[in-house]
Structure formats: C-alpha cells, structure tokens
Structure 1
Amino acid sequence: MIGVYGMGGLGKTTLVQEVGRKAEKDSLFNDIVFVEVTETLDVKKVQTEIADKLGVEFNNESERASRLYERWNSGKKILLILDNIWEDLDLKTIGIPSKMDHGGCKLLLTTYC
C-alpha cells in the first residue's frame, strides 16, 4: 500500500495515472483498476466501479464487500488505484484487504492534505 498526498493541483492524479500506464505497459499486473473516490464518499459507487472493472457480479446488496474481498485472493495480481480520497476510508467495508490477506493486490491511494 502506497499513499500519495499533497495540496490540490500538485499532480497526484497525473502521477498515479502514469504509474498505472507504466504498470500496464510492462505487464506487471493482470488487472489495473483506477477509481476516483471524490470528496463525498459513496461506498456503493466505489464498489460498483471496482466490480465492473474486475468483472465481479453481485447477486444482492449484502454480498458486495465479500465478493470483492474474494476477488483479491483469486491468484491474479491487481493494482487498485483509489484517487482523491477526502475522508477516512474503511477498506474492509468496501471489500478491499489491507493486511496480510491482500493476495496479489497492491493499493495506491491519493489524498488531499
């Protein structure tokens, strides 16, 4: 997990987008997912964007986080870029592992300080 933070307009988004492009070009990950979180956190929107980009389907609302969580341990290497985080973000609520159970997932975050 890597965090990039700083004042607005410094190029954090541009930097992480370039990291994503370079990782894709060098085939470092099976999937690269870029999601803008925005100032007003909408967990369902973030979950839906991640799921759409990874091909994860939900049968019902209650399984959203657990289905995403399972995807990280699928054996594939995934780079997840969460851009523009403005407030505390509970990764577990979204379905993103944050400790030793991350599987092949690498997390890159940008936030305003």
Structure 2
Amino acid sequence: MAIFISFILCIIFTVVSNVSFKLSVQEKGDLKNFIFWQIVGNLTGFLSVIAYTYLLTLVPFYIGYALTTAFGQIFVQVFGSKWFFKEEISFSQWIGIILIIIGTLFLVKTK
C-alpha cells in the first residue's frame, strides 16, 4: 500500500507542479500571478521529489524511475494539456502515449 500511495502522490504532485508552471506564464506582465504559481509549482515539485525518494526505498530504481517518469509524462499531457488547458492531443501523440505505456511495461517486466 505504501508503494501505491507514494507513487500516486508523486504523480499528483508532478502534474500540479507542471500545471502551476504553465499557469505562472499565462498572463504576461502579472508579477503576482507569476510568483504565486511559481511558488506552488516549486513546492509541489519538492513534494514530488520527497514522494519519489520514499518510493525508491520501496522499489528498485529501474521500476521507480520508469513508472514515475512514464506516468508523469502521460498524466501531464492528458490531464494538464488536454483537460486543463484544452490543448489538442494529435493522433500521433496518442500513439506516443500508448508506446510509452507499452515501453514502461517492458522495462518493469524485464528483470
């Protein structure tokens, strides 16, 4: 259960961090907005690193790195880009997401 919780927290914090950085530059010239979202992004990024570091005490490095990197990328693209910012994800990008998932499964199942 600790593995699952630390993994989920790592991914959530990664997504929030990346979305926050994008929000910090949405309104050009708004210094308060920039500073606020930069602080949120950096704090959640730090929490992501803490969750990831804890995860590495529970699983081998190759599994922890593969899962958090792959699913972080997928969730940032799908939840951050598509749903939060309403950016389009092309067919080739969806294929890329599927290939990331397949590649991650190969990495995790290799040993």
Pair in the same fold by TM > 0.5? no
By percentage of residues, which structure has more strand?
Answer: 1
> TM-score, normalising length from structure 1?
0.32
> TM-score, normalising length from structure 2?
0.32
By percentage of residues, which structure has more helix?
Answer: 2
- Structure with the bigger RCO (C-alpha within 8 Å, sep 6+) is 1
Q: Which has the larger radius of gyration?
A: 2
